[in-house]
C-alpha cells in the first residue's frame, strides 16, 4: 500500500513521533490515527466540552452516598490543635 505525505510539516511530525517512540513512521501514523479515532474502534469520539464533562463528573460525585460522615481531619486523626490524637 502506498501513502504519501506531501506536506513538509506533517512529514516532520510523523518522523519526530516515530523517533520519540522508537517505531516506524508507518506505525507512528497508524497509532496516531487510531488514537484520534477513539483507540482503534473505528468510531470517532464525540466532542464534548471540558465544562460539560466536568459538570457530568461533579454530578456523579455529588450523587454518590456518604460512606463516612466524619470530616477529613477526623478521618486522619487530627485534633483541634492539628496534631494526631
Read out DSSP for 52-64? HHHHHHHHHHHHS
Instruction: Single out the residue of 32, 33, 18, 25 nearest to residue 4, CA to CA.
Output: 25
pTM of the complete model: 0.43
**pLDDT digits over 27-59, tens only?**
999 988 888 887 655 555 566 688 888 999 999
Mean pLDDT (whole number) for 19-24: 90
Residues 3 and 11 sit within 8 Å (Cβ to Cβ): no
Express each pLDDT in 76-85 by its tens digit.
888 888 777 6
Amino acid at each position: 500500500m502506498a501513502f504519501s505525505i506531501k506536506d513538509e510539516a506533517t512529514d516532520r511530525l510523523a518522523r519526530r513521533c516515530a523517533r520519540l517512540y522508537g517505531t516506524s513512521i508507518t506505525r507512528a501514523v497508524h497509532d496516531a490515527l487510531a488514537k484520534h479515532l477513539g483507540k482503534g474502534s473505528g468510531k470517532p469520539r464525540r466532542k464534548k466540552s471540558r465544562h460539560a464533562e466536568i459538570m457530568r463528573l461533579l454530578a456523579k460525585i455529588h450523587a454518590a452516598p456518604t460512606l463516612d460522615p466524619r470530616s477529613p481531619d477526623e478521618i486522619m486523626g487530627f485534633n483541634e490543635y492539628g496534631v494526631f490524637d
